[in-house]
Amino acid sequence: MKTAYEFANNFGKTIAQPKSLIEIEKIKSSLALQKKSDLVITGHDLIEWSGRKSGPWLKESLDQILTEILENRLCNERQQIKEWLLNERTH
């Protein structure tokens, strides 16, 4: 498993390089998701909700959802994610 530092940096969350394992654990425990698999939805959900076929948009949407959750603009809840997705498609 990646450290919290690497995980956060993969999603554009800028944090200072941690100095100790305790600091890494503190950062990790503060994240809304501990790992990608903690996401309550899958690509299949996005396809079903959007009515679109699989494609590059799917990875982009999943990455954006992860970012929104990590930056506390979206909760890791199915209904809220569905509403966000449908709202994003209309804008």
pLDDT class of 1 with cuts at 50, 70, 90: very low
- Tokens 């979206």 sit on residue: 74
pLDDT digits 0-9 by tens, 2-46: 555 566 666 555 666 667 777 777 767 777 677 788 889 999 999
pLDDT digits 0-9 by tens, 61-91: 999 998 888 888 999 999 999 999 999 866 5
Exposed, middle or buried, 69 (CB in 10 Å: 0-12/13-18/19+)? buried
H-only helix segments in 31-55:
43-50
The reported pTM is 0.68
Domain ranges of the chain: 1-31, 34-91
> Which one is the CATH code of 34-91: 3.30.360.10, 1.20.1560.10, 1.10.246.80, 3.60.15.10?
1.10.246.80
The pLDDT assigned to 18 comes to 63
